[in-house]
Structure 1
Amino acid sequence: MVIPLKHVAISTQDPEASRDFFANVMGWTVAGRVDSRNAQGYYVTDGTINIALLRFKNRPAAGLEFPEGYNGLHHLGFQCEDVEATAEYMEEQGFPPRHDINIAQGLGKNPDKDNAEYKMTGPASVMIDISERGWVGTSSYKPKAG
């Protein structure tokens, strides 16, 4: 089974400066803005990969392992055909769901939600997102119907 990487999230205390770096220096497109109860920031893309540049508003949503004011890699996102089956497979391999973050962010195995993701434990303390829809700005993104 090959599950392609389509998303990276970077925790930053200055999402605007990070957005400007990707847009002005790297030539990427700003694909969206995030301003929820959990995070503020931007999505940027080169058409293949989506990077979320996020300033988390609370530690439960970020994950309690991340200190207040953390800057750096937060998680990697992989697009799959079936979130339920992929989550089950990953858990069988010893990488269980991150229920703490899924609950804090209101996430779930919900393919009807735009940019829906499901957080899983990953190797080397790097969190993993799995998503059926994918991420805005990528060629494999499947927007919500209607």
Structure 2
Amino acid sequence: MIVTVPALTLLGASAEPATLEGYGPIDLDTARRLAGNATSWIRLLTDPVTGAPLALDRKTYRVPLALRRWLGVTHPTCVFPGCNRAARECDIDHRTAWVEGGTTDEDNLDPKCRHHHRLRHETLWEPSASPDGDLTWRSPRGETFDADPPPF
């Protein structure tokens, strides 16, 4: 069961209703009752305008379908320079590894085709992101290459 409650509603700053997946809008008291009986929680932060997933609870390693689709919009192909493999055919890789504290969110995930995913983990090729999110790759010889920019 998935119950979605807007954060501003929880804070008392909005009257926007909660939503029960497969049912529709529900009042906040019902959402609280359902949440109170939940055996587990996964927090998901979404963009308030588009509804696109932005960040998941640290407890979640697997990339949910909606976030995978969003990554396919923002990065339609493998992020390795010159690779045109469609994102829908790629692995989704954590920039900072999960075991090293990396999160499953938009800022830490990239689509990489299986070849370039393995290249990244099994060789000295290393991607890095600048503070503004631009991705560059450093080759084993120390040369840097910009990832292909998104189409917009």
Question: Scaled by the length of structure 2, what TM-score is found?
Answer: 0.27
More strand by share: 1
Name which structure has the greater RCO, CA cutoff 8 Å, separation 6+: 1
TM-score (norm 1): 0.27
